[in-house]
A and B are shown apart, each in its own frame.
Chain A
């Protein structure tokens, strides 16, 4: 193997510092969440305890975080499923040119880059003027989709750009209907990427703040609840909450990545060796 140039070591240390920059702060609050009962928001550690984690389970100390967590979880699932279905369908549609396709494409891009507060403000105004009550499961749900669906769509573009159309042609030649082609050929082939779309849908919804701010109504989602805490909670209990919800996110990411990997393994095991010259 070729000897590594000196620039490798310079860049590798830069990369290491970057990773430290990304993860360092989060690790710090993870450590600080184990502060003793008399400990403050910064070092030094004043003893080690689970005090602040216990505090999270006491209603009066922190408000309704468990209710907020349940709502965020449910909303995350709703957004995830809608995002997967919506982006796959739109991805299929965009493989052909149809009237309005470029308008729809630019709308999706606009949806991604528009300042989030505009969605929040606009949706809030519409609901108010029409006399509807804003609620996380209606206005909040729709507002979050304006953020997750375009991401899903971009992933589907990436997937279909690499999709070998001859599989579909083969299916059609064998007499498959267009629904059968999608159900038994296209979807199984793109299945691993759908896990990626689902990951985006769930996590982006679970952590979404700006577009939900004016559209969630009187019942907060978890990020809104946490933000409310930042203004009036001055104890490490907020670090404990941050640590738990980050661990939860990491668990979700791990679950999706593991599923992705397992599907790949399964595929390698059961896949045909046709055309490989074995």
Chain B
């Protein structure tokens, strides 16, 4: 009895924070999604108007489609880049010190500001930016490209820039746990490098790939700031739909959209968690 009490006390701070700032807000959002709104205020009610409007509007489907599109393309790119980088670090770097140094080099941007990292693309991608100037001076194009900044291209570029790290770290972590003698055994048995990759390394790295995918997909699905900033407010995803409603003080409608987004994300995570045991993989 005494021991259980101590354990509960140890878990209490985490539990209190999560109850107060995660569970309660979610419950509040669900409640408010049934409320009504005037132009200036919101009032308690039980109506399905917000949901009816949401599901009958073609904008909703378009915006959800865009959100999935961003999520899928970003996922594919971050996975390819992240896997390659992790593979290089884990299997081609021989000294442990170099390995740690290069790994840190990859992770340091994670601890700096995302907003600054987004802003830093402007001198590259703008009409008179470095990319256009370079391409013109090489004679590849005659006039500056307009789709480099404030487009789907720049949004996805920023996502890949910000989130590839979330793939590199878990994939690298699982790769480091692969027993090196398995690789030798594969080579001794006559497997080519490509065969070793396909039949040994990729299957054994699956948990890391899953964890990375969960991070990248949820971050992109829930984003509103990257899309707003990198598209110059010209593109919309679900997060922006919510933040626009908030800016117009239409909280019930924002809440209804938020509930639908949350359900979508949680269903995706639940499916992915079936393939991996996070606690064991750390």
Contacts and interface: CB of A to CB of B under 8 A. Distances in A.
A129 to B, nearest CB: 7
Contacts of A199: 111
A117 B242 contact: yes
B120 A26 contact: yes
Main secondary structure of the interface of A (DSSP, over half): helix
Interface string A97-117: 011110011011111011111
Contact of B28 (A28, A116, A126, A153): A126
Contacts of B94: 1
Nearest to A123: B25
A117 B258 contact: yes
Contacts of A50: none
B176 interface: no
Interface string B228-262: 01000000000100110010000100110010011
A250 B102 contact: no
Interface in B71-101: 81, 84-85, 87-89, 92, 94
Nearest to B88: A11
B242 A146 contact: no
Interface string A122-155: 1101100100000000000011011001000110
Contacts of B3: 96
Contacts of A210: 222-225
A121 B6 contact: no
Given A11-B88, A25-B161, A98-B4, A203 B109 contact: no
B120 A242 contact: yes
A118 B26 contact: yes
- What range describes how many residues of A lie at the interface? 35 or more
A209 interface: yes
B116 A26 contact: yes
Contact of B255 (A22, A121, A204): A121
A227 B118 CA distance: 11
A121 B126 contact: no
A126 to B, nearest CB: 5
Contacts of B151: none
Contacts of B223: 115, 210
B109 A23 contact: yes
B123 A32 contact: yes
A195 interface: no
A41 B126 contact: yes
Contacts of B108: 250, 253
B23 A107 contact: yes
Given A104-B14, A122-B24, A14 B84 contact: yes
Contacts of B26: 114, 118, 122
- What range describes how many residues of B lie at the interface? 35 or more
Interface in B56-84: 81, 84
Nearest to A22: B109
Interface stretch (B45-53, B178-186, B213-221): B213-221
Contacts of A90: 10-11, 13-14
Nearest to A222: B113
Nearest to B23: A107
Interface in B1-60: 3-4, 6-8, 10-15, 17-18, 20-26, 28-29, 32
B25 A8 contact: no
B262 A117 contact: no
Nearest to B105: A19
A114 B222 contact: yes
B112 A42 contact: no
B77 to A, nearest CB: 11
Contact of B113 (A99, A109, A118, A245): A245
Contact of A41 (B14, B123, B269): B123
B17 A25 contact: no
Contacts of A187: none
Nearest to B123: A42
A42 B17 contact: no
A126 B24 contact: yes
B146 to A, nearest CB: 15
A115 B239 contact: yes
A150 B135 CA distance: 45
B279 interface: yes
Contacts of B105: 19
A89 B13 contact: yes
B18 A146 contact: yes
Given A25-B121, A117-B258, 7 more contacts: A14-B85, A15-B102, A42-B122, A108-B14, A119-B21, A207-B113, A210-B224
13 contacts: A12-B92, A25-B120, A25-B124, A85-B13, A90-B10, A117-B222, A117-B242, A117-B258, A125-B29, A200-B111, A206-B113, A209-B114, A250-B112
Interface of A: 1, 4-5, 7-8, 11-12, 14-15, 18-19, 21-26, 28-29, 32, 41-43, 82, 85-87, 89-90, 92-94, 96, 98-101, 104-105, 107-111, 113-119, 121-123, 125-126, 129, 142-143, 145-146, 149, 153-154, 157-158, 161, 178, 199-200, 203-204, 206-207, 209-210, 214, 223, 226-227, 230, 238-239, 242, 245-246, 249-250, 252-253, 257
